[in-house]
A and B are shown apart, each in its own frame.
Chain A
């Protein structure tokens, strides 16, 4: 029961985008038409080699490649996280970081003195140290199935990395992985808008005037980034 639909021409859309691009922070803008079937080349700014290997391996298990869509590495998630470390968020400048830091019940929230970048530095070192001690190998070199088991233990808080309970580090990693995979590609992840395509999220279309009450008709237009990139 489709009907004809006035789609703004791509040219008009791109003009709108070009006019607004100055307002958008665009770390790691993806070149239009970039084919993302494997990890994009990215020299990490914040993470060292060992950390980068951990991050790539862990993200690829949190969002594995399968019939539904690519893995987190192909989506550029490690690059996204690396770029986020050098932002006010990564430096902990969005958080109340005044002393004293006092431990308390989990439901009263985060009480450690570490910014996100410090959580990664300590958390990755701790996770790799745990793997070396218990598995004889760092995390990245474990078989995928064993990586999943280690991540599950981390998720359940069964380890501690210095003063960081493993579930706290895991939640940081998981939430940033989801952000990277599903945020607008201008932030360096969601390469090719493939996560949005997977779930059917149209991104910056943001105009459903004609579709609100077309019950039962699937929205026909593909995903678009605020940069103008289309899927």
Chain B
């Protein structure tokens, strides 16, 4: 099919989520003419978030109103290289977004800074435990950027998102009751921490009694009215419980749609094109320079948008797939252990445990906010001695009561051993919904040589292009980490005077199950780093081989982390944009010379 060639622009941005919106804002501020291509529909809080129609659990969480249209494109998944990967035909394990705002419209709002040690994890592990501590086959790497370098950009993202939280240390001085393991900040959070819901309050008390160090989770759910540096306004969160899967009708949860796009849409340098599905980045004959992108519109017409600079900022695995489809970077070959695009694909290692309290305590699980809660980091990152434990990685532990709604409660049912239907189920359900709470071990997942992304040999999308193939399974190191941390949850549950406890541990020999929701925190596959042999992007998220392509997203994480990824993705976007503005635009070319 012949593509119609459009008038050239300075920058084309692929994807209208957080990363794309930040990059588009930064590039227009630098005077660049920007076109943003979003394959889904336009979305706004005034329409998708309008109360009360927006808070429909069936449509939001079970018919996936704001999520990727799998009928057009999905991935295939297998547990290991000996298997044939099969299509992910129904939404379940992870829920990528689609439409303006991307996953940033339906996310919860948990907004962390990356722990400093996680950014230099390979160096840190070798320094503390020696190189032999790293298990065979684990591709442990540093990011190539430090916390001190990223700090101004974490701060910028928090100010744009209107993040609520309690600081611990500012400029080296202890100032508050925040997370004692968190690094020093240059500024306080823009807003004070959200209130503790009842279950978080009980967890804070019990975690303290158990000897841990609980803190208020940083949340991009506004604890008060707020106006961000762009002039975008947020209202105070009312704990309605409809964050994850919904546009926030209170304008309290940060989203590209509320916090950035209202300003961008008025900018004459910015143009948003929706229903624009990008097929590939176009390359010149040398394969070292991108010339633009080709996309299909809603009517099936194909267009080529020439641009000087191409920013790939869709969801993590779409970014990797676009690189593979466009021939940007060398595809990873796990057998030869060569190539970088698809290498170090990671997930997150989350299990949810349940605690039943005495029946005179109503836990009111319907009250909640997506990013709020109480956590402790005593077993996250390098905050504890891994030496005697023999595993790499860690896990924050938290009560993050985001609002448990009726269908989800019914499907979760009662305590272990309760039937899933019938009168016994009903009894267990009522007891559990009214008197229980949930505690997550939200752990890191490390990168391994035989866990990767490539193109599927069989299945194609609605445009005839190969689906991305995931080869993923849980590994011994990560299972042992989870089991160790979940045992610590048992200590907290004892301090809560629990009536019954279900400690949910990852089990050895049980493969990754695509049928059960776990988390949408996928990462890696086109990682940042300092060595082009082990990273697809340099430390500014610039493609090593194609310097006028930057790839922004959780794809840049060399291994998983215990925290939610959005805060890091936003900080990396601002970090990359800063260096594009300071250096690249003045003198386009590689920002790192070898």
Contacts and interface: CB of A to CB of B under 8 A. Distances in A.
B430 interface: yes
Contacts of A215: 198, 201
Interface of B: 47, 50-53, 55-59, 62-64, 69-71, 73-74, 77-79, 83-92, 195-198, 201, 236, 238-242, 249, 361-362, 364, 366-367, 405-407, 409-411, 420-423, 426-427, 429-430, 433-434, 458-460, 511-515
Q: Is the interface of B mostly helix, strand, loop or mixed?
A: loop
25 contacts: A16-B51, A24-B56, A63-B426, A94-B63, A94-B90, A95-B70, A97-B71, A97-B89, A102-B86, A105-B79, A107-B512, A108-B85, A108-B514, A109-B77, A110-B89, A151-B421, A174-B420, A181-B410, A195-B410, A199-B409, A199-B434, A204-B55, A209-B239, A218-B364, A226-B55
Contacts of A182: 57, 406-407, 409-410
Contacts of A31: none
B109 to A, nearest CB: 15
Given A17-B52, A63-B421, A148-B422, A207 B70 contact: no
Given A97-B89, A196-B406, A61 B513 contact: no
A68 to B, nearest CB: 5
A96 B58 contact: no
Given A96-B74, A215-B198, A208 B430 contact: no
A214 to B, nearest CB: 8
Interface in A73-113: 87-89, 93-98, 100, 102, 104-111
Contacts of B421: 61-63, 151, 174, 177
A175 B411 contact: yes
Nearest to A93: B71
A179 interface: yes
A200 B426 contact: no
A55 to B, nearest CB: 15
Nearest to A80: B58
Interface stretch (A42-50, A132-140, A183-191): A183-191
Interface string A151-176: 10001000000000000000000110
Contacts of B459: 98
A202 interface: yes
B57 A184 contact: yes
Given A93-B71, A209-B238, 5 more contacts: A108-B78, A151-B421, A212-B367, A216-B362, A219-B366
A105 to B, nearest CB: 8
A111 B86 contact: yes
B522 to A, nearest CB: 16
Nearest to B249: A206
B239 A178 contact: no
Contacts of A155: 420
Contacts of A218: 362, 364
B87 to A, nearest CB: 5
B407 A179 contact: yes
Contacts of B52: 16-17, 20, 24, 204, 206, 226
B514 A179 contact: no
A23 interface: yes
B422 A62 contact: yes
A22 to B, nearest CB: 9
Contact of A206 (B71, B78, B198, B242): B242
A147 B571 CA distance: 57
Given A93-B71, A95-B71, A201 B406 contact: yes
A173 B579 CA distance: 54
A64 B73 CA distance: 40
A198 interface: yes
Contacts of B242: 206
Given A107-B512, A226-B52, A226-B55, A199 B433 contact: yes
